[in-house]
Amino acid sequence: MALQRRIPTYHDLAPLMQFKTPDLNAKRRRLSKALTIYDLKQIAQRRTPKAPFDYTDGSAEAELSLGRARQAFEDIQFNPSILRDVSTVTTGWDVLGAPVAYPFGIAPTGFTRMMHSEGEVAGATAAAAAGIPFALSTMGTTSIEDVKAAAPHGRNWFQLYMWKDRERSMALVERAANAGYDTLLVTVDVPVAGARLRDKRNGFSIPPQLTLGTVVNAIPRPEWWINFLTTEPLSFASLNKWSGTVGELLDTMFDPTVTFEDLAWIKDQWPGKVVVKGVQNVDDAKKLADLGVDGITLSNHGGRQLDRAPIPFHLLPEVVREVGNEYEIHLDTGIMSGADIVASVALGARFTMIGRAYLYGLMAGGRDGVDRALSILGEQIERTMRLLGVNSLEELNPSHVTQLERLAPRAVHGAAVSAADVASSRPRGTATAARTAGTREAAKVGSGRLVD
């Protein structure tokens, strides 16, 4: 039968011709189009000069650690349950004895006002509004007191690098305690700075070193330069001014002699909660349990220190199994979506932290961009929980996630090479052989599942 046609009337067409009201605010317009953190990253790259963008986006050496961490989150399978009433979903619980609206917070990041002139104030105020913690870095570019003043009712954490000058380090700790910060986040994976090759190639330094390439790259990004040149000159909130590359600065500061005994001493100086950040093997996690810290953060520093380091997300199940009853297990590195956060909680993490995901939002639009990043992650967390068939974080468990293996350890005669195998094949009686065997044993323990 022939298709019957007719001329449409106005009443037929009117519902199909609803035009969207144009938004004349350019920043709001571009941020509203960002549906993922990767969308914010693209906006950030267009609006930020290469050197500060690469400082945020890059990691150490060949950047394998960061790539593997992100791949690990992609290589999971969610296992949902059906026919559950998920009309209401609770996305928060207690972390370190106080409530959070979501199981993630903003990680400590250095040089933040280099990314955008609003810097740490944008992060702290956005976090307070969202009901999540904000961690200020020792290398922050806004003072301890100014961050607290900007977000007086937020949960403010202070991240500590132990410097060679112990007295100055502990002076910062005292200032944070006096300002009302409730948690000390001690970062322990920085005996020296990692080899961040993008920064070396870009000449990333404080203050910025202008080259012809720098100027050419800045021409299409006038807003960044206007903000940079018309706001307070960039300096470290906790340091004297420095002239040189970032890596050179870090190497002059970080103390390679810090031990567990020093960590115990630091813990005794702090009146609030203590979390140790940078744990990368089960043995160290057990030692920290004996030390009595309140939490640990499984982290390889966002891939910015040792390249080819263990993947925190892969290490998580074993650490939870061994010491999960001793203290809270937190996680960072590679998190780019709410689904990554839900998967981490399902495998036993109490809390996660975002660094680059927050900074992409900051570079894309200052405080508004950070708000958008946090909103995207919150929406993704809630949607993922509903699709899994759970009403609360407490209902998430390992049965909801399967970690798929992309890389597995190389086997010899069907078994992974062990440290004992290596030791038995070496000549005995030499210091070199003993050191080599010990190093291999440490690597075996540190890698957890030995899965990249």
Q: Which residue has the higher pLDDT, 7 or 446?
A: 7
Is 129 a residue whose pLDDT tops 90? Answer: yes
Q: Is 441 inside any structural domain?
A: yes
Residue 187: what are its φ and ψ, rounded to 5°? -90, 125
Mean pLDDT, rounded, for 326-351: 97
What does the pLDDT read at residue 71?
95
User: Is residue 83 in a domain?
Assistant: yes
Do 440 and 353 reside in the same domain of the chain? no
Query: What pLDDT is recorded for position 255?
Result: 78
Residue 433 in domain: yes
66 plus 146 within the same structural domain: yes
How far is the C-alpha of 283 from the C-alpha of 277, rounded, in Å?
15
Summarize pLDDT for 34-76 with one digit per residue, the tens: 999 999 999 999 999 998 999 999 988 999 999 999 999 999 9
CA 122 to chain centre: 17
State which H helix or E strand residue 340 sits in.
helix 338-346
What digits encode the pLDDT tens for the residues 134-180?
Answer: 999 998 999 999 999 999 999 999 999 887 777 888 889 999 999 99
Tally of structural domains, the chain:
2
Question: Mean pLDDT for the chain?
Answer: 86
Check whether residue 134 and residue 258 sit in a common domain: yes
Angle at 250 between CA 248 and CA 256, to 5 degrees: 115
pLDDT at position 80 is: 97
Q: Are residues 38 and 164 in the same domain?
A: yes
Give yes or no for a contact between 133 and 126, defined as CB atoms under 8 angstroms apart. Answer: no
Which burial class, exposed, middle or buried, applies to 365 when counting CB atoms under 10 A from its CB (0-12, 13-18, 19+)? buried
Structure confidence at residue 216 as a pLDDT band (50, 70, 90): confident
- The Cα-based distances of 113 to 78, 231, 284, 306, 363 in angstroms read 38, 10, 34, 26, 10
Give me the mean pLDDT over the 343-356 stretch. Answer: 98
Catalytic residues: 301
225 and 333 share a domain? yes
What tokens were used for 2?
Answer: 């022939």
User: Per-residue pLDDT for 242 more than 70?
Assistant: no
Range of the domain at 186: 31-201+206-400
Give pTM, 2 decimals: 0.86
pLDDT in the model for residue 239: 58
* Tokens found for residue 397: 């468990």
CA atoms of 287 and 264, how far apart (whole Å): 11
What is the distance between the alpha carbons of residues 240 and 232, in angstroms, rounded to a whole number? 15
pLDDT score, position 250: 67
Whether 284 and 429 share a structural domain: no
Q: Are residues 316 and 422 in the same domain?
A: no
Q: Are residues 165 and 265 in the same domain?
A: yes
Band of residue 9 on the pLDDT scale cut at 50, 70, 90: confident
Residue 425 domain-assigned (yes or no): yes
DSSP 8-class letter at 338? H
21 in a structural domain = no
| In 280-336, beta strands by DSSP E | 295-298, 328-331
Q: For residue 269, give the CATH number of its domain.
A: 3.20.20.70
Confidence band, pLDDT 50/70/90 cuts, at residue 236: low
Same domain for 439 and 328, yes or no, is no
Q: What is the mean pLDDT of residues 276-303?
A: 94
Residues whose CB is less than 8 angstroms from the CB of residue 438 and which lie 6 or more positions away in sequence, other chains included: none
Identify the pLDDT of residue 425.
46
* Residue 35: predicted pLDDT: 97
Helix, strand, or coil (residue 261): helix
- β-bridge mates for residue 104, sequence order: 352
CA distances to 119, 326, 381 from 63, rounded to whole Å, are 25, 33, 27
> What residues contact residue 140 under an 8 Å CB cut-off, 6+ apart?
108, 109, 110, 112, 119, 120, 147, 236, 237, 238
The pLDDT of residue 78: 98
Q: Is the pLDDT of residue 206 over 80?
A: no
pLDDT score at 210: 62
Q: What is the largest CA-CA distance in the chain?
A: 96
Alpha-carbon distance of 428 to 433, in angstroms, equals 7
Residue 26 class from Cβ within 10 Å (0-12 exposed, 13-18 middle, 19+ buried)?
Answer: exposed
Same domain, 193 and 106: yes
Question: Residue 47's pLDDT is what?
Answer: 94
Identify whether 348 is part of a domain: yes
Residue 22 lies in a domain: no
Mean pLDDT of 277-305: 94
pLDDT: which is higher, 114 or 35: 35
**Domain check: are 377 and 425 in the same one?**
no
Q: Is residue 384 part of a domain?
A: yes
Q: How far is CA 378 from the centre of its chain?
A: 16
Sequence-distant (6+) residues with CB within 8 A of 222 are none
Let me know whether 306 and 440 are in one domain: no
Is residue 246 a contact partner of residue 111, using CB atoms and an 8 Å limit?
A: yes
